Amino acid sequence: MLTAASLVLLMTPGLAFFYGGMVRGKSVLNMMMMSFGAIGVVSLIWVLYGYSGTFGTDVAGFFGNPFDFFGLAGMTDEDSLMKATGVPALVAVGYQATFAIITVALISGAIADRTKFSTWLAFTAVWVTVVYIPLAHMVWGGGHLGAEGITSGLSTPIDFAGGTVVHINAGVAGLVLALVIGKRRGFAKEPMRPHNLPFVMLGAALLWFGWFGFNAGSEFGADNVSGRAWVNTLVATAVAMLAWLLTEKFRDGHATSLGAASGVVAGLVAITPAAAAVDTFGAIAIGAVAGVLCALAVGLKFRFGYDDSLDVVGVHLVGGLVGTVLIGLFSTDANSTWYPDGALNGLFYGGGLTQLGTQVLVALAAMVFSGLATLVIALILKATMGWRVSDEAEVGGVDLAVHGETAYETLGARIITEVK
């Protein structure tokens, strides 16, 4: 489990490379710093009250008691989330911390090139407290979106590794921030191509590698269930990459490296909630649907006029919805020793429409909660700290204006000359 936790932690630096390569050269350091900033802020909050607020004693179905293990005081292995598999409490704390970290870091891609770093850090602290911790408790900690929650009259929701908690949550938050902060200067008018595609490919590779800890590790042990999750993660991701490339080829005439990297992430996102709940053919189907739909969805920002800079909405929100909802079609208890009590097979495996209805209801509830809570936070920060850097800083580059450095010497010299 420590290895799995380390793999998931590696995903955030991997995301920094993935996002860093996608922005223009004058913003790459700021983009990477947003991911590293999330590691710092969330790690501190998690050990103080985050773990307890997620997995502590239930309070009205919305969050755990943050004072049960404040600062991890008084925690014993009897309190471990992974007690059934013999994993110590502190290992469980560390593993779950990495999930909270990557969720916040994912949001940053929606607001690239124009955001104050100080406001981002403040948002990280507030958002993980007000949105992530309650939603994670509601889904995984015995709250309203778990087995005894709002779907108790239907069936138990299935979210093996974070379709709602991580991806739908981050995707909705990214959309809200993109709308509140507004578009980049020159959006849809000037070319804003990725400045370093090898960085993007490297980032996708690190994400794929780390995701095996994310999905297979969510079993909390090495057994048939983690094996099923590992293989499904491999297969769904490979199929999604191929599906994205085919979509690009038919639509644009080219299969691109950016498309391959994006397809990898779309497949990883979509299989996350379903990793141990579907068989091989279900994983193939989820990957194929995610690859096609996400490839089409990333263009919606131009049609509807919101500036989701690095396609957090098109990949994480849409991919998270695909995986969460398609569980209602493809889930099966036939090929795994893992299946939640009260969950039903999907429509294509003889379970009828009930599980599909449960999955849709939970996805919608997560979207509404995350969207409204994020909107309140975003508007308060806009009125107090302000979100955007100055026009001059945006034109000259956020790296130089905010951090006093540039990734490339020649670029820094040119920017300084242009600003003067």
Q: How distant, in Å, are the alpha carbons of 183, 217, 232, 279 from that of 224? A: 47, 12, 12, 12
Q: Is the pLDDT of residue 351 over 90?
A: yes
Give percent helix, percent strand, percent coil of the chain, each to the nearest 5.
70, 0, 30
pLDDT tens, position by position, 354-392: 999 999 999 999 999 999 999 999 999 999 999 999 999
Chain mean pLDDT for the chain? 95
Total number of domains in the chain: 1
pLDDT tens, position by position, 236-292: 999 999 999 999 999 999 999 999 999 999 999 999 999 999 999 999 999 999 999
pLDDT for 103: 99
Query: Is 167 within a domain?
Result: yes
What sign does the dihedral 25-302-262-271 (CA atoms) show?
Answer: positive
CA dist., res. 347 & res. 110, Å (int): 35
Closest residue by Cα to residue 357 from 332, 327, 333, 317: 327
- pLDDT tier, 50 (very low <50, low <70, confident <90, very high otherwise): very high
Query: Is 413 within a domain?
Result: no
What sign does the dihedral 41-389-376-143 (CA atoms) show?
Answer: negative
Query: Is 418 within a domain?
Result: no
Query: Is 170 within a domain?
Result: yes
Mean local confidence (pLDDT), 161-171: 98
pLDDT for 80: 82
Q: Is the pLDDT of residue 323 over 60?
A: yes
pLDDT for 416: 52
Query: Is 408 within a domain?
Result: no
pLDDT for 402: 95
Q: Is the pTM of this model over 0.85?
A: yes
- What CATH number does the domain containing 370 carry? 1.10.3430.10
pLDDT tens, position by position, 26-38: 999 999 999 999 9
- pLDDT tier, 336 (very low <50, low <70, confident <90, very high otherwise): low
Query: Is 415 within a domain?
Result: no
Query: Is 410 within a domain?
Result: no
- pLDDT tier, 414 (very low <50, low <70, confident <90, very high otherwise): low
- pLDDT tier, 328 (very low <50, low <70, confident <90, very high otherwise): very high
Q: Is the pLDDT of residue 334 over 90?
A: no
Query: Is 310 within a domain?
Result: yes
Domain containing 97 equals: 1-403
- pLDDT tier, 412 (very low <50, low <70, confident <90, very high otherwise): low
Identify whether the C-beta of residue 31 lies closer than 8 Å to the C-beta of residue 102.
no
The DSSP code for 25 is G
CA dist., res. 104 & res. 255, Å (int): 30
What sign does the dihedral 171-175-181-184 (CA atoms) show?
Answer: positive
Q: What is the percent of the chain with per-residue pLDDT over 70, rounded to a whole number?
A: 97
- The whole-angstrom distance between residue 100's C-alpha and the CA centroid of its chain comes to 9
pLDDT tens, position by position, 203-240: 999 999 999 999 999 999 889 999 999 999 999 999 99
